[in-house]
Structure 1
Amino acid sequence: MNPFLTLLDAKLHIAGSEILWREIIGNGFGLASAVGGMRRRVWAWPIGIAGNALLFTVFVGGVFNTPQHLNMAGQAGRQLMFIAVSVYGWWQWQRHANETGLEHRGVEPRWASARERWLLVAAMLAGTAGFAQLFDLIGSYGPWAEAWIFTGSILATYGMARGLAEFWLIWIAVDIVGIPLLLKAGYYPSATLYLVYAGFVLWGFVVWVRNLRATESAAHSPVAVAAEH
């Protein structure tokens, strides 16, 4: 038996429902990647890419014969987008780790500038409107919700690669829409991950804010001020 096909078809039966193991495993990789991102570890990116590849096959249900038999173009395209942006993030964090000599420490958090924040808001609104039309045209399930999730995921992943603390807040906005959408579509492991992930997002935001405050305090300490003069 082909081990690849065995992985694709393996299912878990819970309360009369079929759940693909690759959906569970892919989301497990996603959760591990979130923890790595919170700790600013370079390995978060390749782990996330592996999960994205598995989840892509889950959300193209009409092609890979999932129990839901749904093609969620936004969710599937989101996985491909994650892979592309994650390659950039992996390179960016690895370069920072090499330059600073801090092994596996990929980025120094910072707040976005006022201009960057306005650009993020504008990109979120414009991207949602544009992708909603595209997803509706190709027959996606929940085009407006998927467009919001897709656009937010692009911006959050890019923000993480650049070390912007606000990327955690974008993820919260994605989760608020993603949880009910996935529950309605029957993707229960993914919806559960979104719920768990929301908790990690809040925790990650707190961790990054604490790091920023510690850095700011150190920069304004008497020793640091004296060193500058």
Structure 2
Amino acid sequence: MLDWLLHGQIAVGEGHLAVREVVGNVFGLASALLGMRLVVWAWPVGLVGNALLFTVFVSGELSGAVAEPLWGQAGRQVMFAIVGGYGWWRWSRHRAEGAARVAWAPRWATWSERLVLLAAGAAAYAVAWAVLHRIGSWGPATEAWILAGSLLATWGMARGWVEFWLVWIAVDVVGVTSLVRAGYYPTAAMYLFYGAFCVIGLFAWWRLERAARTRPGAIPVDEGVPA
């Protein structure tokens, strides 16, 4: 089973897909679904997908279309794992004892927090582009956009900000076309599906935020609960 997961291929027409790319994206989608429902298990499930997809993008030849590693996509998985660990810890703090769900509601970021996000996004893009261009990643301009945007979106999800869905949509718009050109079709398909899913997630969190504002005793995400 392990050999099939790491080296297996799925025939599609005249080509094939790497099993680990498909399975990694399934875990990524499951993580997104759990995250939309504010389930803490979104984070460990996502970490499994990150590990699998890292091995996919760090070996560019798996796509059959490009020979260079997609270092932006590979680095994105490492970043997901780091921020995912923080998100797992943070959400776990708010989980009701013995319950599967966290006990808080999402909220919109303040204007000062949004300005910090924009500044951090611009700085992250500049640094990512310089590094990716230097090491010879395939498509450093789009890779940097995806890497910087993914970092901001994951951080926003960990903080419980509704805006993180908007950032993901911006990442997906660029990601779909970039990955199709690079030959990573399962991941491109996930980006396409995830883009539509992000719109649903945005309205779902928006409804939760509005309900929390009118519900007595709601716990804002940044206040926390006693241990």
- Compute the TM-score of the two structures, normalised by the length of structure 2: 0.90
Match of 1:150 among 138, 147, 151: 147
Instruction: Tell whether the 8 Å contact from 1:59 to 1:70 is kept in structure 2 after alignment.
Output: no
User: How far, CA to CA, are the matches of 1:43 and 1:81 in structure 2?
Assistant: 18
Summarize deviations over 1:163-209 as a string: whole Å, max 9, x none: 01100111001001100000000000000000111111111110010
Indicate the SS of the match to 2:11.
strand
1:105 match: 101
Q: How does 1:188-227 map to 2 (within 5 A)?
A: 188-219=185-216
- Compute the TM-score of the two structures, normalised by the length of structure 1: 0.89
User: Which runs of 4 or more aligned residues in structure 1 lie more than 6 Å from their structure 2 counterparts after TM superposition?
Assistant: none
**One-letter amino acid matched to 1:168:** W
Is 1:66 aligned to residue 70 of structure 2?
A: no
User: How far, CA to CA, are the matches of 1:104 and 1:84 in structure 2?
Assistant: 23
**One-letter amino acid matched to 1:199:** A
Structure with more of its chain in helix, by fraction: 1
Find the structure with the greater CA-based Rg: 1
1:14 match: 12
Task: State the 1:7 CA deviation.
Answer: 2.3
Instruction: Tell whether the 8 Å contact from 2:105 to 2:212 is kept in structure 1 after alignment.
Output: no
**One-letter amino acid matched to 1:35:** L
Task: State the 1:29 CA deviation.
Answer: 0.3
Task: State the 1:218 CA deviation.
Answer: 2.9
2:167 match: 170
User: How far, CA to CA, are the matches of 2:215 and 2:100 in structure 1?
Assistant: 22
Q: Which one has more relative contact order, counting CA pairs under 8 Å at least 6 apart?
A: 2
User: How far, CA to CA, are the matches of 1:212 and 1:4 in structure 2?
Assistant: 42
